[in-house]
Structures are given as structure tokens and as C-alpha cells.
Amino acid sequence: MNPDELPSFNPSLYPRTYKPSTGYLFFLGSASLLCAAGGIAGVLYFGTGHEVKSSRDQFMLVGLSSLFLLLGIFLISSVLTSRLIVSADSIELKYLVSSKLFRRSDIAGFRILPTQYIPTLVLQPKSAEQKKLKIPLYFRTDEAFAEWFTDISNLDREDLQKSKAELEAAATTVESPGMETSEERIGKARSVVKILNLAAGITAVWAWIYPSPYPLAMLAVGALPFIAIILLARSHGLYQIEGRRNDARPSLAGAFIFPSCILAFRAIQDLHFLEWKPLVLASLAFAAVLTIFLAQSDPHFHNRTVAAISLFFIGTALSYGAIAQFDVLADRSAPTNYQTNVLGKRADNGRSTTYYLRVAPWGPRQDAQEIAVPLALYRIIRPGQPVNIHLFSGALHLPWYSLSPGTTSAADR
């Protein structure tokens, strides 16, 4: 239940003890039982000599299976015995072999992290020396639990109120034609974000699933992150780009993150460079500059380390994809052509299937190598056949190459 709904705190309602709810008990218990069952199956299977070549292998596999069995037993025991104990002046989280207690007078505020499966209640201490208490909200609580938080600061709500004030201040400083009110500017900014996020979704799916025509698809997916960056830099704080919770400002995160990742994915999947180190170093350098620029462009960035690291990783993906795609698509150099033989081929079946040809040494390559190729090329090439390798200098002087079927003599056919 939401701790904000009840107006007063009544100490006479406590102490209270809360057990895990039936739904979460079933979910967590099932996962624990599966872990234990897997351990039992492994002990029986490997213990009877299956899939083992020596007594040492058998000992290691049985030992590993036993660890899974013990882990499953520990997890189910911990879930069944976990309790949340709330008294008038403290809150305690008890597990099978540990417990954590937080005094009510030591709490500066609380927030709720909406994680994927189990939301987490985070209690922020007043003292910097004291650690936060994180309570998974899988307990069956009641109104008394919500009332316990009545006069404790809701940090999520405070962050949102502060962000709304910052948004209103930013809207009043943005220059715009005519006599637009701050509400109209905010509404226009939200409309722009909706359009950009829709465009980001469409172009990301297009570039990921069926990037044809390829140059146009890469241009579309690559332009959106830079549009988001320009909007952020010109908005004086009207937008945010981190996708931060409790931030009332329209978020450009969707238009920045998803196209950047797809652009990098397509570069890794489709393009082949003679040397990867110069490309990676250039990407890291550009990403560092971009991170600093984004942090400086947002007056409410507040030197958050985690946010800076996240921006750096997304910036690296954008930089890698943009530099690689521009180097290839803008290249107008004449290729140097080589011919070599295919030594073998294989398909890597992961979440998506990647097709590889193993080719003999060619040109500057002194060793045999595996090259990812499209399915159409993979199907028509057999081991022993020749392939042509076209080496280009690159628009940014990052040499890259492509493959095409080689000519086969009549005798080979």
C-alpha cells in the first residue's frame, strides 16, 4: 500500500510482523525449488557416471550440483523465515541467518525503486556514516504499515516537486516567438518528445530488422540521437536525456539511447575493419567529450556519477556506430582487391543467428580468420571456393573491407 495515503501516525498500532505474500512466496519458492531440484538431478545424474570421463570430473560435477542443491535449500528457507517487524520506533528486516534494524528517528526519508519483479523500499539515513536499508516489498502489509511512514519524508515526491519547479523555471527562460506561456512551452516540449520517441521506435525497428535501403536506414537511426543532443543543449534545462525517475521534464532518453544502440549493433554486425583499435580509441575519446558536453548542457545534472557513466556507455555506442558508418558509407576510395579461399563455415545460433566464413590469409592478414557474412552469401559459398575481398581506405582513414563471391573455374565447378 502507498505510504502517503494516511494522514496521521498512531504508535499504539505497533508492533506488527509481516510475512511474505502468497504470490511472492509462490514465485520465490518455485525458483528456489527449481534450483534445489536441478541440484538433486545433477547429483543423481553425474553421481551415476553419466557424461563424466574421470573420477575428477565426476567429483567436480557432483560438487557443483551439490552447491546448487544447498543454494536452493538456503533460498527457500530464507524466504519462508523472512519477516518484516515494525514497532513504534523501529523497523527490522529478518532473514534466516541475518537481520537489519533501522530506528525511526534515524530515517531522513524513503523512496521506492520500481524494479522489474519486486519493488524495493529504500530508507535513507540521516547520518552519512549509516548505510541505507533496502526492503524488498514482497511482504503482505496493511494500512498500519503505510501509516508508519506518514511523517517521514517521501523523497520520490520531493524530487518530483523540485523537478516541476525546475521545469517551470526553465520554461520561463526559453526564448520563443510570440507570447507563449510557460505551460505552452512545456506542452510543446512534450509533443516534440512524443514525436521523437515514436520516430526512434520506428527507425530502430527498421534498422534492426530490415535495414533497406541501408544508407537511408543508417542515416535515419543515426540522426535522432544528435537531434536529441541539440535539443538538450538549446533548451536551458527544459529537457532531460537520462530518463531519470521523478524528473518532470520531458525526456529525450528514448531518442538518444535506442537509436545509438541500434547504430552500434549494425556497425558491429555488418562492417569489417582492418584494425579495430583506432576505431575504439576514437569512439572512447568522442564519448568522453560527448559526456562532458551533455553534463554541461543540463543545468540539473548535479555531478551524478552513475548517470555520467551511463551517458558515457551510450555515448560510446553512438560514437562507435556513427564513426564506423560514416567511414564506410561516405567512402569514395577505389578498393584494393584480393582473392582467397574459404576454409570452412559455421552458423552461431544465439538469440539471433550469425553466419561465419573462415578464410585463408589474404593481403595484410597473415592468419586465417572468421568473418561474419550475410545469409545470402553464406548459402552460396562452400568450403574450398574462392572469395573476393575488397579493401577500402575509409572516409576517415579507417580501412575496411567487404566480401563477394570469387570466380570459380570450370574444373572446380
Q: What is the pLDDT of residues 180-221, one digit of tens each?
A: 677 888 888 899 999 999 999 999 999 999 999 999 999 999
Question: Which residue shows C-alpha cell 579507417?
Answer: 398
342-394 per-position pLDDT tens digit: 999 998 887 778 889 999 999 999 999 999 888 889 999 999 999 999 999 99
Element (H, E) at 338: strand 336-349
pLDDT of residue 3: 47
Residue 227 predicted with pLDDT over 80? yes
| Residues in Cβ contact with 213 at an 8 Å cutoff, skipping those fewer than 6 apart | none
User: Using an 8 Å Cβ cutoff, are 196 and 224 in contact?
Assistant: yes
* Confidence at 6, pLDDT banded by 50, 70, 90: very low
107-135 per-position pLDDT tens digit: 999 999 887 778 899 999 998 888 999 99
Residue 87 predicted with pLDDT over 90? yes
* Confidence at 52, pLDDT banded by 50, 70, 90: confident
What is the spatial distance between Cα 41 and Cα 401, in angstroms, rounded to a whole number?
A: 50
Element (H, E) at 156: helix 155-173
pLDDT of residue 257: 94
Three-class secondary structure of residue 284 per DSSP:
helix
pLDDT of residue 59: 87
Residue 179 predicted with pLDDT over 90? no
User: Using an 8 Å Cβ cutoff, are 263 and 201 in contact?
Assistant: no
pLDDT of residue 176: 57
The three grid cell numbers given for residue 182, joined into one nine-digit string: 510557460
| Residues in Cβ contact with 193 at an 8 Å cutoff, skipping those fewer than 6 apart | 239, 250, 251, 252, 254, 255
User: Using an 8 Å Cβ cutoff, are 318 and 260 in contact?
Assistant: yes
Residue 412 predicted with pLDDT over 60? no
pLDDT of residue 96: 84
Percentage of the chain lying above the pLDDT 90 cut: 51
| Residues in Cβ contact with 65 at an 8 Å cutoff, skipping those fewer than 6 apart | 38, 39, 40, 41, 42, 43, 45, 46
* Confidence at 2, pLDDT banded by 50, 70, 90: low
* Confidence at 54, pLDDT banded by 50, 70, 90: confident
What is the spatial distance between Cα 301 and Cα 33, in angstroms, rounded to a whole number?
A: 44
| Residues in Cβ contact with 366 at an 8 Å cutoff, skipping those fewer than 6 apart | none
Residues 133, 138, 143, 144, CA torsion sign: negative
User: Using an 8 Å Cβ cutoff, are 389 and 408 in contact?
Assistant: no
In the chain, the amino acid numbered 386 is P
For the CA atoms of 251, 255, 257, 262, the dihedral, rounded to the nearest 10 degrees, stands at 170
In 76-208 the beta strands, taken as DSSP E runs, fall at: 83-86, 90-94, 99-103, 107-113, 120-125, 133-136
| Residues in Cβ contact with 289 at an 8 Å cutoff, skipping those fewer than 6 apart | none
What is the spatial distance between Cα 106 and Cα 151, in angstroms, rounded to a whole number?
A: 13
> Is the pTM above the cut of 0.75?
no
Using the 8-state DSSP alphabet, how is residue 155 labeled? H
* Confidence at 413, pLDDT banded by 50, 70, 90: very low
User: Using an 8 Å Cβ cutoff, are 388 and 339 in contact?
Assistant: yes
